[in-house]
Structure 1
Amino acid sequence: MSTREIVTLQIGHYANFVGTHWWNIQESSFVYTPQALTGPKEINHDVLFREGQTLHGEVTYTPRLIAVDLKGSLKALRREGTLYEAGQEEDVKWESDVTLHESSPVEKNEFLEDLDRVEAEQMSDVPRNLEDKLEDPDKKPKLEKPETEDAVFGRKLYDLDDTVSVWSDFLRVHLHPKSLHIVDDFIHKNEEQPFDMFQLGAGVLKNVDAMDAMEDQIRFFVEECDHLQGFHLLMDWCDGFGGYGAGLLQYLEDEFTNKARMTCAVSPAIMPDSTVRQRANRIINSAFCLDKGGNLSSLFIPMSLTDSLWRKMGPPRDLPHLSYKGQLDYHTSGILAACLDTLSLPYRQDGYSTTLADITGSFNNLGRKVSAVYSSLPFPLTPQGTFVESLMSHKDQAPWYSLTPHVGTCPHPYMQSCVVRGVPAHRITRSEPTPNIPGILTGCSSLSEILHLYLSETYPRTLNAGCTMRDACKVVSPFPHVFSSKVSNNGYICDTDRPSYQGVESVPVMTSLQSNDSVYNLTSSLLSEAARFNIRKHHHYLEAGLEEDEYQETLDNVSSLGQCYQTDTSAT
């Protein structure tokens, strides 16, 4: 069966934080030798990754990705990458006097230094003459991971909390030269000219040259696909990147009308919140992004570890078995990425029982294009406990927590796609009768059977879809240390502390993507806050091209969207 490819667009600095963790998680789960397999192949990584060759004939495996960010956001990462040796400086012959200005090299953290060292060792063992390789069949390049790489990154613990300032500081995978797209009109963290309004991002793509460059990059990845499923978009939605993302969504709808577009609108757990302008921008930008982005996406999923985004930022969520620092994007983005990696498994399975269009088409019924995401990371398994016992211990409470701001758990979702991964076969259930466990569950023979039975019994009025995976979520370095000391290296919840020299390498995860009436809380609260503004008093928006009628139309559209979720049980 041919691969059904997906092209991913990461739009914004925090979106790139989330995406970097996501690609790292996927790369750490690659299996390069038959001996390393623990069972049948589960994931087809070709859905999101592409195979290519360098100028020297070495096989590469890179994300099918375009990452958009501002000037000054890359630090040590070169725009053109390093795989293809593009952009190398040539000797310049100039008859007049030349003054050479050299900038100091960017200091790299311990992880990046180790990464460079391992890659240098690998390159020293690789033939550099492509013609020799082609003449000798035995020298055909192979996709392999040297043991030294696993030894360094699989077990070594890094403390990167104080050294990660941008997403490239912990990027483990190589990127194709066509993957990076830098907006040179704005500078990262420039307080004098901040990229903080929806209209600024939309305005960037109105420049013909800028749009042509982006279109060229998108078509590069699309045209090499045999059976394109659609597009992932990870998008910052509280600043100018919301407008930029909406512009790209409009282009994708016009040029690839029949392809699915799933947008994950992400935001940090803590954002600038000290001035009236910062709070106003967050609300106004979110309203525009929810309207435009939601309308142009096949499915729109807000994600953040904050409980509240509008007038006052809520505190970072207190999540069981996690001990993360809400002020560090490096931490919060890792949690979102692990959730994203899990919820996307149904349409990345080897065998393709589900497609991206199946997910988006099922969820956006009756105008409900916004969905909420829930996760249990790690899913609480004890060394002696079972999956069934853990489910039953929650009693009437849902076994997951919300990662969508302003949205709580819902007893009766319209639709949900639930994924469970990383539960060993001997930890599914007990064969003998167990107190407080329904006999019907102990009689199940597989994790998939238990999950489907649990969903049908707990959510009888919901259109449920369940997916189970054998392998746990890999969270080896450079994934941040966000797990509590009671989480063992293989993700179990223990009574004793994990040794200080040992990190968490993998965790079982449970996620639920839902369309439910709690989404009304998000739309109604945003509408209530956005309607308080007299847009004429926010001159910077008018100067950026916003018209008063356009703002009122946006509020009306957000109101109409909320009505799709308003039922007798909706919170107000």
Structure 2
Amino acid sequence: MSTREIVTLQIGHYANFVGTHWWNIQESSFVYTPQALTGPKEINHDVLFREGQTLHGEVTYTPRLIAVDLKGSLNALRKEGTLYEAGKEEEVKWESDVALHESSPVQKNEFLEDLDLVEAEQMSDVHPNLEDDPDMKPNSEKSETEDAMFGRKLYNLDNSVSVWSDFLRVHLHPKSLHIVDDYIHRNEEQPFDMFQLGTSVLKNVDSMDAIEDQIRFFVEECDHLQGFHMLMDWCDGFGGYGASLLQYLEDEYTNKARMTCAVSPAVMPDSTVRHRANRIINSAFCLDKGGNMSSLFVPMSLAGSLWKKMGSSRHFPYLNYKGELDYHTSGIMAACLDTVSLPYRREGFSTQLADITASFNSLGRKVAAVYTSFPFPLTPQGTFVESLMSHKDHPPWYSLTPHVGTCLDPYMQSCVVRGVPEHKTTRSQPTPDIPGILTGCSSLAEVLQLYLSETYPQTFNAGCTMRDACKVVSPYPHVFSSKVSSSGFICDKDRTSYQGVESVPAMTSLQSNSSVYDLTSSLHNEASRFNIKKHHHYLEAGLEEDEYRETLDSVTTLGQCYKTDTSIS
């Protein structure tokens, strides 16, 4: 069966945080030797990754990705990557006096230093011309640093990650990085903080031609392109940038699915009127423009609320994360994204991205909510069914979409369960808490389908089960409580301090439900309070009053698609 490829676009600094964790998680699940296989191949990595060659003929495997960020956001990462001999500085001849300004090299953290050591060892294996020097011969056994890359060494990177490239484990193609030179990362004098600034960047012909060239490069090498993933910051200028790209994709690749995950940090600047106004106004424009031009639009954040005041970070029973660290929060969202996307990345199955988006966006419902149980609570002695039943009347997952709560009767949902061993599916005999109908199931997939149909009888349910758990080895952050074992089970005894968590079972649900109305209505209510005439920086950026009123009307219209008697507050 031929691969149905997807091209991914990461638009914005936080989107690149999420994406970096996502690519790291996927790379962690690669199997390099037949001996390491635990069963039949489950994931077709060619959907999101591409195979290529370096100038020396060495095979490479890199994400089919374009990552967009501002100038000064890469730290030690070279714009052209490290796989190819591109970007070498040429000798500059100048007859006049020259003032030479040297900048200090960026200090790499412990993880990146170890990564360099591993790559140096791998290069010595590829180029055996170093064999004359006995100190340079490759070892036949795995080195300590190579083992570290598979989770055996624990890194504490909380204080040494400032940008997403500080924990990037995979190589990127030279065509993957796109830097917006018009603005500088974390520049308070000229912040990239308005939707209209993002759209204005791509009104420049040269800027638009450059990003189009990168998109075409990845698209044209696909045999059967099924669509695009877009991870997009939606509370700043990247919302406008991403919306402009979505317009381009809609015009040029009309029949291809476009799934947009609009992401935002759990903690953002909230100390001034401008901070709060930007967050609300930008979100309204992004929901309108981005939502209408996407096949499916999924807002994601660990913040409970984003509008008038930043809400407290979401609580998860077995996570101890720091909401102020993008390195932590983006890791949780990436694990959710990796699990949600499994149905159309499965090996040998015909589900496609368009199947998901078309099922959800009927009747104008282009916005979906996402929920996760991470890790899914399995005890060493317990079963999947017992964990489900322990939630009683409450769904077994938690919302990752701000202003959206759990819903007991969604219109549509795609549910994924991964990492539950078959022998832990259910008991052979019914108990007072477990219906006999569930003990008669012969597989995890059968249990999931029965649970969904019995719990959500009015919902169009789609279920997917995967054998392998979610890999969370280094450099994934230490966000799990001490009750989570290294293999992801919930134990009474604390995990030792020198032992990390390597994999966890997980469950996600992507839903179209009436609670989305709460998001649209609350955003409309807050955005309507602004007299746009008083926000001169928006008017100076090209915003007109009529355009703002039309955007608010569009947000209201979108919300009406989800309005039911139970969703009216």
Cα deviation, residue 93, structure 1: 3.8
User: Could you tell me which residue of structure 2 aligns to residue 427 of structure 1?
Assistant: 424
Cα deviation, residue 550, structure 1: 0.2
Say whether residues 1:331 and 2:342 are aligned partners.
no
Q: Matches of residues 79-118 of structure 1 in structure 2 within 5 Å?
A: 79-118=79-118
Cα deviation, residue 436, structure 1: 1.6
Residues 429 and 436, structure 2, Cα contact 8 Å, conserved in 1: no
User: Could you tell me which residue of structure 2 aligns to residue 139 of structure 1?
Assistant: none
Could you tell me which runs of 5 or more consecutive residues in structure 2 were left unpaired when the two chains were aligned.
Answer: 130-140
User: Could you tell me which residue of structure 2 aligns to residue 451 of structure 1?
Assistant: 448
Say whether residues 1:60 and 2:56 are aligned partners.
no
Q: Distance between the aligned counterparts of 1:347 and 1:87, measured in 2?
A: 36
Moved over 6 A (4+): none
Could you report, residue by residue, the CA deviation over 1:353-395 in whole angstroms, capped at 9, with x for unpaired residues? Answer: 3100000000001000000000000000001000000001111
Cα deviation, residue 426, structure 1: 1.3
User: Could you tell me which residue of structure 1 aligns to residue 42 of structure 2?
Assistant: 42
Q: Distance between the aligned counterparts of 2:59 and 2:431, measured in 1?
A: 53
Residues 122 and 146, structure 1, Cα contact 8 Å, conserved in 2: no
User: Could you tell me which residue of structure 1 aligns to residue 499 of structure 2?
Assistant: 502
User: Could you tell me which residue of structure 2 aligns to residue 320 of structure 1?
Assistant: 317
Cα deviation, residue 319, structure 1: 1.1
Cα deviation, residue 571, structure 1: 4.0
Give the direction of change, closer, same or farther, for the CA distance of 1:388–1:150 in structure 2 (3 Å limit).
farther
Q: Distance between the aligned counterparts of 1:174 and 1:513, measured in 2?
A: 30
Say whether residues 1:178 and 2:185 are aligned partners.
no
Could you report, residue by residue, the CA deviation over 1:451-491 in whole angstroms, capped at 9, with x for unpaired residues? Answer: 00000000000000000000000000000000001000000
User: Could you tell me which residue of structure 2 aligns to residue 151 of structure 1?
Assistant: 147
User: Could you tell me which residue of structure 2 aligns to residue 205 of structure 1?
Assistant: 202
Q: Distance between the aligned counterparts of 1:550 and 1:479, measured in 2?
A: 43
Residues 283 and 526, structure 1, Cα contact 8 Å, conserved in 2: yes
Residues 195 and 237, structure 2, Cα contact 8 Å, conserved in 1: yes
User: Could you tell me which residue of structure 1 aligns to residue 126 of structure 2?
Assistant: 126
User: Could you tell me which residue of structure 2 aligns to residue 72 of structure 1?
Assistant: 72
Q: 2:273 aligns with which of 270, 273, 276?
A: 276
Q: Distance between the aligned counterparts of 1:165 and 1:179, measured in 2?
A: 21
TM, length-normalised to structure 1 = 0.96
User: Could you tell me which residue of structure 1 aligns to residue 509 of structure 2?
Assistant: 512
Say whether residues 1:418 and 2:427 are aligned partners.
no
Cα deviation, residue 433, structure 1: 2.9
Q: Distance between the aligned counterparts of 1:278 and 1:99, measured in 2?
A: 40
User: Could you tell me which residue of structure 1 aligns to residue 135 of structure 2?
Assistant: none
Say whether residues 1:550 and 2:550 are aligned partners.
no
Q: Distance between the aligned counterparts of 2:143 and 2:517, measured in 1?
A: 51
Q: Distance between the aligned counterparts of 1:229 and 1:350, measured in 2?
A: 15
Residues 346 and 353, structure 1, Cα contact 8 Å, conserved in 2: no
Find the residue that maps to 1:67 and give its secondary structure. strand
Q: Distance between the aligned counterparts of 2:247 and 2:9, measured in 1?
A: 14
Cα deviation, residue 121, structure 1: 1.1
User: Could you tell me which residue of structure 2 aligns to residue 342 of structure 1?
Assistant: 339
Say whether residues 1:227 and 2:224 are aligned partners.
yes
User: Could you tell me which residue of structure 2 aligns to residue 400 of structure 1?
Assistant: 397
Find the residue that maps to 1:79 and give its secondary structure. coil
Cα deviation, residue 90, structure 1: 2.6
Q: Distance between the aligned counterparts of 1:81 and 1:398, measured in 2?
A: 44
Give the direction of change, closer, same or farther, for the CA distance of 1:503–1:367 in structure 2 (3 Å limit).
same
Q: Matches of residues 242-257 of structure 1 in structure 2 within 5 Å?
A: 242-257=239-254
Say whether residues 1:12 and 2:12 are aligned partners.
yes
User: Could you tell me which residue of structure 2 aligns to residue 488 of structure 1?
Assistant: 485
Give the direction of change, closer, same or farther, for the CA distance of 1:361–1:544 in structure 2 (3 Å limit).
same
Cα deviation, residue 351, structure 1: 1.1
Could you report, residue by residue, the CA deviation over 1:415-451 in whole angstroms, capped at 9, with x for unpaired residues? Answer: 0000000001111112233332111101100000000
Q: 1:560 aligns with which of 544, 557, 560?
A: 557
Cα deviation, residue 150, structure 1: 4.8
Residues 118 and 146, structure 2, Cα contact 8 Å, conserved in 1: no
Q: Distance between the aligned counterparts of 2:399 and 2:449, measured in 1?
A: 21
Cα deviation, residue 91, structure 1: 3.0
Find the residue that maps to 1:125 and give its secondary structure. helix
Q: Distance between the aligned counterparts of 1:27 and 1:391, measured in 2?
A: 30
Say whether residues 1:259 and 2:263 are aligned partners.
no
User: Could you tell me which residue of structure 2 aligns to residue 21 of structure 1?
Assistant: 21
Residue-pair matches, total: 557
User: Could you tell me which residue of structure 1 aligns to residue 291 of structure 2?
Assistant: 294
Q: Distance between the aligned counterparts of 1:33 and 1:97, measured in 2?
A: 58
Q: Distance between the aligned counterparts of 2:482 and 2:502, measured in 1?
A: 13
Q: Distance between the aligned counterparts of 2:43 and 2:191, measured in 1?
A: 41
Q: Distance between the aligned counterparts of 2:340 and 2:128, measured in 1?
A: 41
Cα deviation, residue 536, structure 1: 0.6
Find the residue that maps to 1:504 and give its secondary structure. coil
Find the residue that maps to 1:569 and give its secondary structure. helix
Q: Distance between the aligned counterparts of 2:94 and 2:189, measured in 1?
A: 37
Q: Distance between the aligned counterparts of 1:271 and 1:459, measured in 2?
A: 36
Which residue identity lines up with residue 63 of structure 2 in the other structure? P
- Quote the RMSD (CA, aligned, Å): 1.2
Q: Distance between the aligned counterparts of 2:465 and 2:98, measured in 1?
A: 64
User: Could you tell me which residue of structure 2 aligns to residue 465 of structure 1?
Assistant: 462
Could you report, residue by residue, the CA deviation over 1:65-93 in whole angstroms, capped at 9, with x for unpaired residues? Answer: 00000000000001111100200123334
User: Could you tell me which residue of structure 1 aligns to residue 137 of structure 2?
Assistant: none
Could you report, residue by residue, the CA deviation over 1:178-224 in whole angstroms, capped at 9, with x for unpaired residues? Answer: 00000000000000000000000000000000000000000000000
User: Could you tell me which residue of structure 1 aligns to residue 136 of structure 2?
Assistant: none
TM, length-normalised to structure 2 = 0.97
Residues 518 and 571, structure 1, Cα contact 8 Å, conserved in 2: no
Residues 10 and 66, structure 2, Cα contact 8 Å, conserved in 1: yes
Residues 114 and 145, structure 2, Cα contact 8 Å, conserved in 1: no
Find the residue that maps to 2:442 and give its secondary structure. coil
Residues 10 and 65, structure 1, Cα contact 8 Å, conserved in 2: yes
Q: 1:535 aligns with which of 513, 524, 532?
A: 532
Find the residue that maps to 2:476 and give its secondary structure. coil
Q: Distance between the aligned counterparts of 2:375 and 2:408, measured in 1?
A: 22
Which residue identity lines up with residue 416 of structure 1 in the other structure? Q
Which residue identity lines up with residue 477 of structure 1 in the other structure? S
Q: Distance between the aligned counterparts of 1:164 and 1:390, measured in 2?
A: 36
Find the residue that maps to 2:225 and give its secondary structure. strand
Q: Distance between the aligned counterparts of 2:392 and 2:308, measured in 1?
A: 35
Find the residue that maps to 1:416 and give its secondary structure. strand
Which residue identity lines up with residue 338 of structure 2 in the other structure? D
Q: Distance between the aligned counterparts of 2:153 and 2:27, measured in 1?
A: 17
Cα deviation, residue 97, structure 1: 4.3
Could you report, residue by residue, the CA deviation over 1:112-154 in whole angstroms, capped at 9, with x for unpaired residues? Answer: 000001101111121389xxxxxxxxxxxxxxx9776651122
Percent of aligned pairs with the same residue?
84
Q: Distance between the aligned counterparts of 2:547 and 2:142, measured in 1?
A: 56
Q: Distance between the aligned counterparts of 1:429 and 1:565, measured in 2?
A: 36
Q: Matches of residues 164-175 of structure 1 in structure 2 within 5 Å?
A: 164-175=161-172
User: Could you tell me which residue of structure 1 aligns to residue 134 of structure 2?
Assistant: none
Find the residue that maps to 2:260 and give its secondary structure. strand
Q: Distance between the aligned counterparts of 2:206 and 2:437, measured in 1?
A: 63
